[in-house]
Structure 1
Amino acid sequence: MNAIVSTKGRYALRVMIELANNLGRKVPLKDIANDQGISLKYLESIMPPLTKAGFVTAIHGKGGGYELAVSPDECTLAEIITAVEGPILTVSCLDPEIVCERSSKCKTLPIWKGLDETINNYLSKIKLSDLLTDDIISIADE
């Protein structure tokens, strides 16, 4: 089974939580790897898109590391996941780069569009700061 959110997206959230818990401090990538149990090599593929999206800054050299570039209140889970994975899609036929010959007569297409909208709306309601507390269940109930 294919997951809607891959390991890359899940790990990106863990990295962002780690950086949010260390606000104002440069965290070396090897420390994040050790703390999160993620390989350093894999993290090296996750950080460039987070940097490009403006969520983190990288300081190279001695005393360097990664630092959160935005307030945890300013970014949502949907934005973080999309930054590293691209659009969150339940089925490939919703990818705007794929032309589906059956879309005009597909009876299931509205279901997939509705599911995507539900997932994206949910993830857009949750901010990084919400993951720093234990109140995430209350957000799901709203």
Structure 2
Amino acid sequence: MKISTKGRYGLTIMMELAKSYGEGPTSLKSIADKNQLSEHYLEQLIAPLRNAGLVKSIRGAYGGYILAREPETLSAGEIIRVLEGPISPVDFTEEDDPAKRDLWMRIRDSIAQVMDTTMLADLINFKGEGNQDNYMFYI
């Protein structure tokens, strides 16, 4: 499964809104400028996020978008599914070999578990230090 720019940029939008959660609306222009992205493309991505109830739009001169829920309650999986559709590494059917089908299902479930337990708050608070497995090889 490869996440397209829709999913990656949509996650960027949501992370930027999470960073300013509780401080008022954020414009797509400011998100586009900050991340060097096309504002027009972000406008296409925000519509399904709004329709899914993940963001709210605020009209007016100082309008923009805000998260519909707290960053601690919005998972990466919810966002990716809205923009990309179901999470699955391959399309499989009942006619597939049972061993292969089991493998694809376990991979799908593992990806979904990681995405569904990673919240926006986790992403914006990620420091990167000590969160990676470091391997030391001795020869």
What TM bracket, shorter-length normalisation?
0.7 to 0.9
Residue aligning to 1:23: 21
Q: How does 1:50-129 map to 2 (within 5 A)?
A: 50-93=49-92, 100=93, 102-103=95-96, 105-129=97-121
- CA drift at 1:60: 2.6
**Identical-residue share of aligned pairs (%):** 36
Structure 1 residues not aligned, in runs of 5+: 94-99
Q: Is the 8 A contact 1:126 1:139 kept in 2?
A: no
Deviation at 1:138, TM superposition (A): 7.5
Pick the structure with greater CA Rg: 2
Q: 1:72: Cα distance to partner?
A: 0.4
CA distance in 2, matches of 1:136, 1:124: 20
What corresponds to 1:11 in structure 2? 9
Residue 135 of structure 1: how far off its partner (Å) = 5.4
Cα distance in 1, alignment partners of residues 68 and 44 from structure 2: 18
1:107 offset after TM fit, Å? Answer: 3.7
Matched residues in 2 for 1:82 and 1:14: separation? 15
Cα distance in 1, alignment partners of residues 99 and 132 from structure 2: 29
Give the TM-score normalised by structure 2.
Answer: 0.84
Number of matched pairs: 132
How far is the alpha carbon of 1:136 from its aligned partner?
A: 6.8
Distance in 1, Cα, partners of 2:62 & 2:80:
28
Q: Normalised by the size of structure 1, how large is the TM-score?
A: 0.82
Distance (whole Å) between structure 2 residues aligned to residue 89 and residue 113 of structure 1: 8
The runs of at least 4 consecutive aligned structure 1 residues that moved more than 6 Å come to: 136-141
Aligned to 1:97: none
- Give the C-alpha shift of residue 64 in structure 1: 1.1
The answer on whether the counterparts of 1:13 and 1:80 sit within 8 Å (CA) in structure 2 is yes
Gaps of 5+ in 2: 134-139
Change in Cα spacing, 1:62 to 1:20, as seen in structure 2 (3 Å) is same
Question: Which residues in structure 2 correspond to 1:37-52 (within 5 Å)?
Answer: 37-52=36-51
